[in-house]
Structure 1
Amino acid sequence: MELRAGFAFLLALFLSMALIPPLVRIARPLGMVDAGGGRKVHEGSVPRIGGVAIFVGFLVSVLFWVPMEQGIEVFLAAVAVLFVFGLLDDRFNLDYRLKLLGQLLAAGIVIFGADVLIQRLAFWPGGLLPEWIAIPLTLLVLAGVTNAVNLSDGLDGLAGGIGLLAVSGLLVLGVESDAGALLIVLGSLLGAILGFLRFNTFPAQLFMGDAGSQLLGFSIGVLAVIITQRPSAELSPVLPLLVLGLPILDMLTVMIGRIARGRSPFKADRTHLHHRLLAAGMSQSEAVSLIYGLQFLLILVAYLLRHAADGLIFVTALSVGGLLLIGLRSVERHRAELRNRTRQQQPFTRFAGWLRRKGLLRVSLTGLSIGLPLFLLFGTLAAPAVGPDIGVLAAVLGGTLAFILQTKRVPFFALERLSSYTLALGVAYLLAGSPLETACPACITLIYGALAAAAAVCVWRSSEGFHVNSLDLLILLGALVAPTLHGLGLADLGALVLHAIILFYGIEILMHVEGRRWDWLRIATLIGLAVLAVRGLLLV
């Protein structure tokens, strides 16, 4: 099941990334754009159609990899209903009451169709909650979590990053509690979000819109309830308060503040956590990275306390929430100092300047442009065996790519990206557990580590030069957490996914180098696919 979750992750990742460029082109004709202004922090009109890429990548991956059961089918139906409401809101700006109707309808579908209920509650005497309490409580919680994630979608990469970390936390908890097919669902959702974040990090090329943020919040809420409410899980039902603690805390403080000022709790304003951090003088990247770090710490605490008493977890959640509010007030008190900083004093800018002075950007890009293609070629030759299915796929992709390039027209970059990704995934898969890796595991680790280090230094090159963004922080957190998968029996899967991500990002960096023509990556892709085709079809 864990292996299927890994492949589901990669399929959803690729689909969401591949769909975004064409979706961006059709967003404006369809009227799916966010004009900005008012309480919004971005300037100009930005397509808000990313939720379609998340939904399609997630849905196709689940349908392809997950054994269809009644609970899964009902969950997908509820997600589809909520997605339609979100899509209509992105196009026509629905009244909040219609949005709430869609959320309650989706929640009702999973409650009555798949028995998703909050029946175990901390401190409740007598065991399980009666249905007349459990049903409205579950409706309230699912609608609340959906809105909490939706309301956090205020900065580039913010809602997606929070969702990515929350899904990762649920995935780890689900592995330990033997969540079965839910692991594949979580892996699919994780891949779809990560593929979207590739285009949503500051400065964002598109937004997920309500179609994406509501889908994300609702899915996380439902999966959190299922994973923690199963009797066999042996997990505290209070854990979602930590896994989703930050968006829930933000939503509650904002709504309580609005009510205290005599305003409607549903009236939009600029009092959310991210708005307050920006008002205190932080940049978008700093605010998003800080929120990522806080979300990561909450999930780490949830994992460490996963088997603790409900009372301890509840008190910890309240204490952490109080500390976060105190810390926020402290940041706001230093507003003048933060606002008066020059750009050169910001941490990311200072780090980028240090890299330039040391010449590491040029060296890293050169090493990546040579080392990655050579490694891909090495992997196709060193793999112990290549199956005929891989051979057929490599032959089709390689032949098509060679034909398009031979016409000397503008290369079809979507197909080229698909071909390079397929080659990279094939190499990562074929080398995993191969005799070469068994004989010298340190050698493979060293190669991937060098590629990851080079990619981390030059992860993104823009017209303004190198800069570190919040997506880099998510990748760093993933790399730090990956070793913990060994204790969960996911060492092989964790290594495969991590290796594939390193290769994918290296390919993306090289594909964005200005003026690239017949470079090493393009040559290596064609030769590597040809080698896989020959080995898979002729040397069986």
Structure 2
Amino acid sequence: MDLMLGFLLAMSVTMALIPPLMQAAARWRFLDAPEARKVHTTPVPRVGGIAMAAGTLLALLLSGEFAQPMPAYLAGVLVLLLFGVWDDRVTLSAGPKLLGQIIAVLLIMQWGDVTISTVTLAERYELPGGIAWPLTFVFLIGVTNAINLADGLDGLAGGTTLLSLSALALLAFTSGTPFVGVVAIVIVGAILGFLRYNTHPARVFMGDGGSQILGFSVAVLAVVLTQDETTPLSSALPLLLLGIPIIDTLMVMTQRMLEGRSPLQADRNHIHHRLLALGFDHHEAVMGIYLLQACLFVTAWYLRYESDFTIVASFAGVSLLVIGSLHLATALGWRWRPVSRNGNGSSSQLGRFVVWLRAPARLPRWALLFIAAAVAVYLFSVGLESPQPSSDVQIMAAIVAVVTAGSMAMRWREADSGWMLKGAAFLALVMAVYFDRQTTTFLDRRATLQVVLFTALVIAIVIRFRLASDRRFRVTPLDILVVFIAVAVPNLPGSVVSSATVGESIAKLVVLMYGVETLFSASAHWWRLPSLVALGYLAACSLHGWL
């Protein structure tokens, strides 16, 4: 099966199954009730794992890839799904949950022959079976539970796993490990389908079935990738690829044991709980953890061929930095949002200035004006110097320009633009980015100016997202993930998609589309600006050679 087809199938099946499963959740008693250590206040269906598993299994079964370790992996996923669904319905004790994990891990180790059998120092060294088997068993069980424990905020477990899987897919296709790449891409599709329902405030949870399957999958793929004899990747690389869930699990379990409690006893000492206690809101806590995992993503890429000692030392340094920073902030009583004594916000002159600046008529409005100006500058720069389009492109541009003009005339007094004008603007952006790759524009000859323009555009978009009171399009942690993957992955040196200017073009297109979406989603007729700019660019394309 084509990779894109597998990705889309997993995402579509997941998205299609979640609504009916949510409707049946109360009848089947698949509801996550609020309690002291949880952050939600109303019962939430925990059926997302069932939908993700269905989308993943269907796409992988239709892939036609049944060589080991695929059959063993699919069997392990089914075992975890059965035990996870059982747990989500009746809340199992630790014993039965661990039994399901042990069965799945033994299946992949014994039947699928997946083990951590080598370490990388100056060169690869074989581990004796007496060390390889226990090490693999502990790693797979540990990561499966680490993702399960990290599932404490909306979008957290899914997002961190999505970043890890994206890194695994990139490394797999770069180093030639198709099994890892195919499975990772399919699961990424399923997670994206789920996250649209799980972004805060979540309408559905993945449940233990979903989190255990994700943990098991990312652990298995990490071992298969780094233990492949044909790839020179370091054996310790999974520590960075799965960094934040591992750090979180080690931190909370160590603290529980130091306090004389069971390491399996639930509490509110996870990284996300600490961030909430320090004054971060839900979105900020999730995006902060995403940022940390994204940094480990990039670090893993640059250290992928280094010795295991270097990677372990880097992981230890990051762990100490994260844990130490959290403990220090708590000990000093530091908070992200300091308030005045009356609890109404900052009473300082700087605080009053910030309040004045955040008013809708100031910084949010200035951000919108800059976004419109930046998009216009880019389209003008490309339109001025791009080569003449082919005749069919010119005809298409002319037709879309006429339709756009007519639609604008009909809707000029309306607050909403309608889908037609938005589609025309996005088409103009795609055409501009495509032609930008074919020629050297005014901005290309002034690289520093182009970097400044797009950096400022990103800042303006973020400001608008955070401060707007009239926005109808809200940035979510999922959007941050999409931007990171679209911008960072193609631009990593040595990446399979980093040749020529593909990475730069993808980054430009993503930023421009978010900017235009911001303008269309603002009230007070802001849609007129991007529509006029798009109309001008489309008209210029259609008349190129006549002007």
- 2:312 maps to amino acid: F
Compare 463-472 and 142-151 and name the one that shifted more.
463-472
Which residue of structure 1 aligns with residue 158 of structure 2?
160
Which residue of structure 2 aligns with residue 36 of structure 1?
34
What's the offset of the Cα at 1:321?
1.0
User: Match for 1:180 among 156, 175, 178?
Assistant: 178
Which residue of structure 2 aligns with residue 224 of structure 1?
222
- 1:273 maps to amino acid: I
User: Match for 1:474 among 469, 473, 481?
Assistant: 481
Sequence identity (%): 39
Which residue of structure 1 aligns with residue 313 of structure 2?
315
Q: Is the 8 A contact 1:344 1:350 kept in 2?
A: no
Change (3 A) 1:187 1:350: farther
Secondary structure at the residue paired with 1:196?
helix
Compare 212-221 and 78-87 and name the one that shifted more.
78-87
Looking at structure 1, the residues matched to 60 and 233 of structure 2 have their Cα atoms a distance apart, in angstroms, of 25
Count of matched residue positions in the alignment of Structure 1 and Structure 2: 476
Pick the structure with greater CA Rg. 2
What's the offset of the Cα at 1:195?
1.9
Change (3 A) 1:355 1:111: farther
Which residue of structure 1 aligns with residue 260 of structure 2?
262
User: Match for 1:96 among 83, 94, 116?
Assistant: 94
Q: Deviations over 1:474-493 (max 9, x none)?
A: 22322321432684233599
Structure (1/2) with the larger helix percentage = 1
Change (3 A) 1:219 1:251: same
Q: Is the 8 A contact 1:118 1:134 kept in 2?
A: yes
Looking at structure 1, the residues matched to 510 and 26 of structure 2 have their Cα atoms a distance apart, in angstroms, of 31
- Using the size of structure 1 for normalisation, the TM-score is 0.72
- 2:159 maps to amino acid: G
Looking at structure 2, the residues matched to 364 and 65 of structure 1 have their Cα atoms a distance apart, in angstroms, of 47
Which residue of structure 2 aligns with residue 209 of structure 1?
207
Which residue of structure 1 aligns with residue 57 of structure 2?
59
- Using the size of structure 2 for normalisation, the TM-score is 0.72
What's the offset of the Cα at 1:222?
0.2
Which residue of structure 2 aligns with residue 239 of structure 1?
237
Q: Deviations over 1:68-102 (max 9, x none)?
A: 32321221111111111111111110111111111
Change (3 A) 1:126 1:41: closer
Secondary structure at the residue paired with 1:233?
coil
Change (3 A) 1:16 1:473: same
Q: Deviations over 1:360-381 (max 9, x none)?
A: 79889999xxxxxxxxxx9xx8
Which residue of structure 2 aligns with residue 537 of structure 1?
none
Secondary structure at the residue paired with 2:312?
helix
Structure 2: give runs of 5+ residues left out of the alignment.
374-388, 396-418, 445-449, 524-547
Q: Is the 8 A contact 1:238 1:314 kept in 2?
A: yes
Looking at structure 1, the residues matched to 51 and 304 of structure 2 have their Cα atoms a distance apart, in angstroms, of 33
Secondary structure at the residue paired with 1:127?
strand
Secondary structure at the residue paired with 1:163?
helix
Which residue of structure 2 aligns with residue 251 of structure 1?
249
Structure 1: give runs of 5+ residues left out of the alignment.
368-377, 385-416, 418-422, 515-540
Looking at structure 1, the residues matched to 506 and 192 of structure 2 have their Cα atoms a distance apart, in angstroms, of 12
Looking at structure 2, the residues matched to 321 and 83 of structure 1 have their Cα atoms a distance apart, in angstroms, of 31
What's the offset of the Cα at 1:304?
0.8
Secondary structure at the residue paired with 1:232?
coil
Q: Is the 8 A contact 1:249 1:321 kept in 2?
A: yes
Q: Which has the higher contact order (CA 8 A, sep 6+)?
A: 1
Secondary structure at the residue paired with 1:172?
helix
Change (3 A) 1:366 1:56: farther
Looking at structure 1, the residues matched to 32 and 137 of structure 2 have their Cα atoms a distance apart, in angstroms, of 30
What's the offset of the Cα at 1:119?
0.6
Q: Is the 8 A contact 1:117 1:225 kept in 2?
A: yes
